[in-house]
A and B are shown apart, each in its own frame.
Chain A
Amino acid sequence: MSYAREIEAALKDGFLRRTLDKFAVEYRAGRDRVFAEVDERALIQRIADVKDDAARHMEELYERFRAEAEKRGAVVLRAKDAAEAREIIAAIAKENDVHKIVKSKSMTAEEIGLNAHLEAAGIEVNETDLGEWIVQLRHERPSHMVMPAIHLSRGQVADEFEKATGRAQDHEDVHKLVKTARAELRPKFHAADMGISGANFLIAETGSLAIVTNEGNGRLVNTLPRVHVALAGLDKLIPTLDDALTALQVLPRNATGQRLTSYVTFIDGATACAKSPTGRKILHIVLLDNGRADLARDPLFSQIYRCVRCGACANVCPVFRLVGGHRMGHVYVGAIGLVLTYLYHDRAAANKLCQNCVGCGACKDVCSGGIDLPRLIQEIRARFAKEDGEPVVSRLARYAMRKRTTFHRLLKFMRFVQKPFAGKDGFVRHLPMALFGKQGFKSLPALAKKSFRELWPTLLRPVEKPRFRIALFAGCALDFSLPHQLVAAMKVFAHFGVEVEFPMEQTCCGLPLVTLGEKETALEVARQNIAAFAGEYDAIVTLCASCASHLKHWYKDTLGAEAEAFSAKVMDFSSFVHDKLGLTKKDFTRLDWKVAYHASCHLCRALGVKEAPRALIAAAAHYTPTPEEESCCGFGGSWSFKFPEISKELMHKKLDNACSGDATHLALDCPGCTIQLRGGADREKRPIQVVHVAEVLAASLEAGAK
């Protein structure tokens, strides 16, 4: 089945949709509750520091770990790739006359395709983690790293258990199904010759393994059989026990909203084992390289070793929530899954999967190690774009945008072309909807009759004794499609004594170019913008959260010192008005609007701005909180054109939430979200008006003037 078809089928899977929807909301609540007890940001930073350092010293840690573990009776082996790891483990089985294996969950075993290899050698392999056992019975792969069978209903599980046990099963009572698993698997633990487990941490200072589990199967796997093989990637090496205990404050909280899992087992060497001929456990620890040692030296991608496999990046991913892990992962699932698929597995699969990231940044925000997952996915896309030979659209964008005048002439030409179709209300009308196909889920914005830069001469107002002197960065969407939002902002600026300049040489911020993999052109436009804003300003203000985060972060990260002064001055509209102008309730006349708020991804996560817009709305109107304000609206630039069905569902959910109360308006800080939500509200005839925060403030000032 094609990827598009798979997605279509997943979106129609009512059970999956309900389950993941419920999970997304409950996970957030549970996570917030347990993280309130610790210093989340400080812990994540510590994990990042420790793991970054471990990646830099991977070889030393490996040597230390091996020496300490072997001192205590373990055998430590290193496999250069998946095939070698499979061979090593099969050889251990053969050497010890192993016929039956019990396994606890190991994503690394999934990575190397271990089960099939051992079964081909005539060995019986039983998964014992409940979810893993279920997917093993179904010959599927896990759809989530922590909850492998989250895509299945109890009825499907009961059917599978009936086949496995030959006995009728309760199709309603989950607890009875759990008991079936206990009864069915218990004899297998006793009968097994060998147990295979993963490991969450390999602690170099003492050569010990830390294994984090809930069901208790992992402990039976590493205790009852005479042979224990622990398989883990080299990235699981960390220096000290303290580091493991620090990470343990985050891993369960992030994975399942638990303070700690039921069991954390520290195994240090070959302990007593009655079944073993020597009286000691035959313990082999297999460390998998499979590209890890090389990647540890990669300046950008080495950060993936901060991953502790908590699965949080999937739990908060809006696309995972809609399509499930089988469509948002390959072996590893979620944002880290997309990256690891590219690095360890199937590049064709990775190319497909990486296109399906909307770039909302939710994963980065919750990651146990603070991995910049969206940035890595963006980089992978850019690499694929280069390798695949650039599509026409990239070539066009490069040609059109390198020179501002060419780009702006092109936009004006498009405005001319759309003339017969543009409605008075700012949408493209008068065209049969069939023309838009799957894109028809929202009304498409028309280019404005006059762009902001054309309006500018009429808007110039001298300000006496200005409090601030700012430069306005318009951004293409606002400049050419939504200039009325900028006009509203001008009213606010004028009212509060802010002198505004609009440097005419400014051009596209370059974010769409980066998305298309056109880094060189993106750098060119960045330099043009820095030159255009070389004047003396207190701030460079933009009403576009996406532009703001790109100008602030990408410019500085990519151009360094050249962009430093520029990036430092960039501010989003709400932050400038709230933090710099210090506007509060007393500055506004309260409108009778009931205003819901959509927190744009680029504002609430990329820029970390949360309070300012809400406070401003509350000052100028009636702020009406609604559920999931910070979840993505599904725009994601060109992403929404690639995955219209998913984009539509995200938009629909967003509008459902916004309309769940009695809000009359939905305010936001980003033209991309405006295009998505205004177009959606129009198409779905929602009783809500989508406006920029600046428009709320301007309307309040107008009301006050009357």
Chain B
Amino acid sequence: MEETATDLFIARAEAAAAQVHAVPDEAAAAREVEAIRAEKGADGGAHGVRALPGGVGVVRAAKGIAQTGTCIVVTDDEALRLETMLPEVSVILLNSADILPDLPSAAPFLRAEQTQGRASYVSFITGPSRTADIERVSAIGVHGPLELHIVLIGGRP
């Protein structure tokens, strides 16, 4: 069977330590987000240091990139931006129809964002924050989210 962009996206996102939740539609996505919120708790306290401001941040991706398992999030709005940075658990909603094949194919989208006559802040997010700065031990969750959940809409039955 031929590997679709969605399959590749899932494989690569998981390789980058993201957790992918494939759901059929928006309604199911909303339920999935609620389930994650309920499980993680509002203060994310189960994950060590208490995050500021809260436990679970939720944003919507504009595009995805299959080859790298990346979500592209437009966060010109500062509060939205902080949603992807401060909480311990980050949830990104992505529509499978928005998955692009590779990095170069994101250029037209990025150019459109950057030529609308205003300032912009676009993030390519691939997995949770990580470091290997101490003895090259891979540690997930440094200054950004400790977990990244991607709720992938319409990708799989």
A interface list, Cβ under 8 A from B: 19, 22-23, 26, 37, 72-73, 128-131, 134, 147-150, 152-154, 157, 174-175, 177-179, 181-183, 185-186, 189-190, 205-206, 208, 214-217, 219-220, 223-224, 240-242, 245-246, 248-249, 256, 258-274, 280-281
Query: A177: which B residues are within 8 A, CB to CB?
Result: 134
Minimal Cβ-Cβ distance residue in B for A189: B143
Nearest CB of A to B7, in Å: 15
Q: A85 to B49, alpha carbons, bound, how many Å? A: 38
Given contacts A147-B133, A272-B76, contact A72 B139 (CB under 8 A): no
Query: A157: which B residues are within 8 A, CB to CB?
Result: 134
Nearest CB of B to A15, in Å: 9
CB-based contact B142/A265 at 8 Å:
no
CB-based contact B143/A216 at 8 Å:
yes
CB-based contact B142/A181 at 8 Å:
yes
Minimal Cβ-Cβ distance residue in A for B127: A262
Query: Is the CB of B39 closer than 8 A to any CB of chain A?
Result: no
CB-based contact B120/A216 at 8 Å:
no
Q: Indicate the size class of the contact surface on chain B.
A: 35 or more
CB-based contact B144/A219 at 8 Å:
yes
Other-chain contact of B126, A129, A153, A182, A260 (Cβ < 8 Å) = A260
Query: Is the CB of B152 closer than 8 A to any CB of chain A?
Result: no
Interface centre among B118, B124, B127 (most CB of A within 10 A): B124
Q: A224 to B131, alpha carbons, bound, how many Å? A: 21
Given contacts A259-B67, A262-B144, contact A214 B129 (CB under 8 A): yes
CB-based contact A72/B82 at 8 Å:
no
A interface footprint on B78-93 (CB within 8 Å = 1, 0 otherwise)? 1101101110000000
Other-chain contact of B143, A72, A175, A217, A266 (Cβ < 8 Å) = A217
Q: A561 to B31, alpha carbons, bound, how many Å? A: 73
Query: B103: which A residues are within 8 A, CB to CB?
Result: 245-246, 248-249, 260
Given contacts A72-B118, A260-B124, contact A179 B130 (CB under 8 A): no
Query: Is the CB of B54 closer than 8 A to any CB of chain A?
Result: no
The 9 closest A-B pairs by CB, nearest first: A216-B144, A269-B119, A216-B129, A131-B133, A215-B142, A206-B114, A264-B124, A130-B133, A260-B68
Query: A263: which B residues are within 8 A, CB to CB?
Result: 123-126, 129, 144
Query: A128: which B residues are within 8 A, CB to CB?
Result: 143
Q: A23 to B131, alpha carbons, bound, how many Å? A: 15
Q: A170 to B70, alpha carbons, bound, how many Å? A: 34
CB-based contact B134/A174 at 8 Å:
yes
Which residues 90-140 of B sit at the A interface, judged by CB distance below 8 A?
102-104, 106-107, 110-111, 113-115, 118-137, 139
Q: A178 to B136, alpha carbons, bound, how many Å? A: 12
Given contacts A149-B134, A241-B111, contact A219 B78 (CB under 8 A): no
Query: Is the CB of B52 closer than 8 A to any CB of chain A?
Result: yes
Q: A185 to B70, alpha carbons, bound, how many Å? A: 27
Query: B110: which A residues are within 8 A, CB to CB?
Result: 241, 245, 266
Given contacts A178-B141, A262-B128, A266-B120, contact A241 B114 (CB under 8 A): yes
CB-based contact B131/A223 at 8 Å:
no
CB-based contact A37/B133 at 8 Å:
no
Q: A430 to B84, alpha carbons, bound, how many Å? A: 73
Query: Is the CB of B157 closer than 8 A to any CB of chain A?
Result: no
CB-based contact B120/A268 at 8 Å:
yes
Given contacts A73-B119, A174-B139, contact A148 B133 (CB under 8 A): yes
Query: B123: which A residues are within 8 A, CB to CB?
Result: 219, 263-266
Interface centre among A190, A260, A281 (most CB of B within 10 A): A260
22 pairs, CB–CB < 8 Å, chain A vs chain B: A19-B135, A131-B131, A174-B134, A175-B139, A178-B131, A190-B52, A206-B115, A215-B142, A216-B145, A220-B144, A242-B104, A246-B103, A246-B104, A249-B103, A256-B132, A259-B15, A259-B16, A262-B126, A263-B123, A266-B114, A268-B119, A271-B78
Query: Is the CB of B69 closer than 8 A to any CB of chain A?
Result: yes
Other-chain contact of A178, B70, B86, B107, B139 (Cβ < 8 Å) = B139
Known: A245-B107, A260-B68. 9 other contacts (CB 8 A): A131-B131, A174-B137, A178-B139, A178-B142, A190-B52, A208-B114, A215-B133, A216-B142, A273-B78
Given contacts A220-B85, A242-B104, A245-B107, contact A37 B67 (CB under 8 A): yes
Interface centre among B106, B124, B131, B133 (most CB of A within 10 A): B133
Q: A220 to B86, alpha carbons, bound, how many Å? A: 8
Nearest CB of B to A661, in Å: 28
Q: A543 to B123, alpha carbons, bound, how many Å? A: 54
Minimal Cβ-Cβ distance residue in B for A73: B119
CB-based contact B85/A182 at 8 Å:
no
Minimal Cβ-Cβ distance residue in B for A273: B78
Other-chain contact of A215, B107, B125, B129, B137 (Cβ < 8 Å) = B129
CB-based contact A266/B122 at 8 Å:
yes
Query: A186: which B residues are within 8 A, CB to CB?
Result: 49, 52, 143
Query: A241: which B residues are within 8 A, CB to CB?
Result: 107, 110-111, 114
CB-based contact B135/A153 at 8 Å:
yes
Query: A149: which B residues are within 8 A, CB to CB?
Result: 133-134
Query: A269: which B residues are within 8 A, CB to CB?
Result: 118-120
Q: A548 to B145, alpha carbons, bound, how many Å? A: 54
Query: B79: which A residues are within 8 A, CB to CB?
Result: 274
Query: A280: which B residues are within 8 A, CB to CB?
Result: 119
Q: A217 to B110, alpha carbons, bound, how many Å? A: 23
Nearest CB of A to B157, in Å: 27
Q: A178 to B144, alpha carbons, bound, how many Å? A: 12
Query: B102: which A residues are within 8 A, CB to CB?
Result: 249
Nearest CB of B to A40, in Å: 14
Q: A258 to B130, alpha carbons, bound, how many Å? A: 12
Query: Is the CB of B12 closer than 8 A to any CB of chain A?
Result: yes
CB-based contact B141/A182 at 8 Å:
yes
Q: A273 to B82, alpha carbons, bound, how many Å? A: 11
Q: A262 to B107, alpha carbons, bound, how many Å? A: 19
Query: A73: which B residues are within 8 A, CB to CB?
Result: 119
Other-chain contact of B134, A130, A217, A266 (Cβ < 8 Å) = A130
Minimal Cβ-Cβ distance residue in B for A205: B111
Query: B144: which A residues are within 8 A, CB to CB?
Result: 215-217, 219-220, 262-263
